[in-house]
Amino acid sequence: MNTQEYERLAEKYLDCIYRVAVNGCKHHVDAEDVVQNTFVKLWEKTESFADEEHARKWLIRVAVNECNSLWRSGWKRHTAYLEELTEEPACQTAEKSGLYYAVQELPPKYRQIVYLHYYEEYSIREIAEMMKLSETAVKTRLLRARQKIKSAMEAWDAERG
């Protein structure tokens, strides 16, 4: 890929891919590895993209695969981390703050789907394609994630009276 096109895509999609990585990993260090590996693959890519959406989906799919590779690696699986994911967005209201923690408490496999569905606004079918899962599996995870978020939010509301 030529430098100009690489820089354009990197500038445009870095935050998006970072969010995919953060939501697919438990640790900040892993998320950064995923982002770097994803953009190394973009840098090394020789074929061009059909359109902008093709590039975006390709990058997300690579990032999802990179997250999965981490979890399938015996080395990563058994490595202890001293640095946890510490970055937290500044939430404007207590309710948003509660929701943020509820989402962060979700296992990565749910969190990633929540991100792709609610933020990137991909359909169940598109997520299934990107994550190489069945549509049923995506629906199930989304449903479970929603249930977990709702019950966490209810608990949060109850705590605040």
Partner 1 sequence: MQKEDKIKTYIQDSFREIHAPEDLRRKVMNMSEYKEKKNLAWAKKLAVAAAVALAVFAGSNCVAYAMTGNTWVENVTTKLLVNCAEHETEFIGTVNEDGTVEYHGSFETPDGSSVDVLIVDDLDDHVPGENPPVFCIDTDFNVPARSAIVKEDGKVYWVDKEIKIDLTEELADGETEISYEREGTTYRYIITESPHVPGAYDYYLVEE
Q: Which residues bind partner 1 (CB under 8 A)?
A: 3, 6-7, 10-11, 14-15, 17-19, 22, 32, 35-36, 39-40, 43, 71-75, 77-80, 82, 87, 89-92, 95-96, 99-100, 103, 109, 114-115, 118-119, 137, 140-141, 146, 149-150, 153
Query: For residues 37-57, b (16+ Cβ closer than 10 Å) or e, as one string?
Result: bbbebbeebeeebeeeeebbb
Q: Find the angle CA(72)-CA(77)-CA(78) to the nearest 5 degrees.
A: 150
Which CB atom, from 125 or from 150, has the smaller least distance to partner 1?
150
Both tokens assigned to 92: 């404007």
In angstroms, rounded to a whole number, what is the distance separating the alpha carbons of residues 41 and 39? Answer: 5
Cβ 56 to partner 1 shortest distance, Å: 16
In angstroms, rounded to a whole number, what is the distance separating the alpha carbons of residues 156 and 161? Answer: 9
Which CB atom, from 19 or from 56, has the smaller least distance to partner 1?
19
Which CB atom, from 22 or from 130, has the smaller least distance to partner 1?
22
Which CB atom, from 17 or from 55, has the smaller least distance to partner 1?
17
